[in-house]
Amino acid sequence: SQQGEEDPQALSIQEGENATMNCSYKTSINNLQWYRQNSGRGLVHLILIRSNEREKHSGRLRVTLDTSKKSSSLLITASRAADTASYFCATAPDPYGNNRLAFGKGNQVVVIP
Amino acid sequence: EPEVTQTPSHQVTQMGQEVILRCVPISNHLYFYWYRQILGQKVEFLVSFYNNEISEKSEIFDDQFSVERPDGSNFTLKIRSTKLEDSAMYFCASSEAMGQGMEKLFFGSGTQLSVL
């Protein structure tokens, strides 16, 4: 089955710095999504990139997708203390579409004020 | 902003007991999902539900699991005879539709199920 796999890093950065995390997957996808989870809360959708897109921006977020390498990256620019959370990538398999997302284990990001 | 609500936030049960986890999806959403996360492991898809029937389920979703939309607002996950390995955080989610631009899932805060 498909797997989203983040680089198993716990990032600790200073406020104002950029945070980058990566995700790789194994099979073809319809789209790839990034979610954030604050401690004790549910997953919050951040951004979706389709298989025919290479880069997407949303506010301070920048996502890239390289389907030839089956990998994606999430960049958070000018980080804030409120960005402290776990970040998950999730792939929507092709041809099932959105129905079953395959999540990675998540990256813990700590932004130090 | 509308949100998915789940109750209870924590559930402790004895092995072999039945549990029902409850969810209220966002009111105009049509697709409903259950995912779970065992401590330290990935978030795993369990089941999706549309138009009052299961549209897809994973290998985890065996005969011990069932879902129901008993009325216009609730969506429940039942585990008939809980096992120790069912201990996990269970997330309910909903989405507006399946078409392009509407694949975003809205998740509840989860129910932490502990089977003793």
Q: What is the pLDDT of residues B75-93, one digit of tens each?
A: 999 999 999 999 999 999 9
DSSP A68: T
Q: Chain B residues with CB inside 8 Å of A103's CB?
A: 35, 42-44
B45 and A43: CB-CB below 8 Å?
no
Q: What is the pLDDT of residue B65?
A: 97
Q: Give the burial class of B96: count Cβ atoms within 10 A of its Cβ; 0-12 exposed, 13-18 middle, 19 or more buried.
A: middle
Q: What is the pLDDT of residue A88?
A: 93
- B107–A contact, CB cutoff 8 A: yes
Q: What is the pLDDT of residue B98?
A: 63
Least confident range of A35-49, B46-60, B94-108: B94-108
User: How is the beta sheet containing B75-79 ordered, strand by strand?
Assistant: B5-7, B19-24, B75-79, B65-68
CA separation, residue A113 to residues A12, A78, B113 (Å): 11, 12, 34
Query: Does the pLDDT at position A2 exceed 60?
Result: no
Q: What is the pLDDT of residue A98?
A: 58
Q: Chain B residues with CB inside 8 Å of A26's CB?
A: none
Which H or E run includes A14? strand A10-14
B55 and A104: CB-CB below 8 Å?
no
Q: What is the pLDDT of residue A56?
A: 97
The string of pLDDT tens digits covering residues B23-62 is 999 998 989 999 999 988 889 999 999 989 998 899 999 9
DSSP B82: -
Distance, CA of B99 to CA of A100 (rounded, Å): 14
Q: Chain A residues with CB inside 8 Å of B48's CB?
A: 99-100
pLDDT band at B2 (very low <50, low <70, confident <90, very high): confident
CA separation, residue B33 to residues A19, A32, B50 (Å): 31, 18, 9
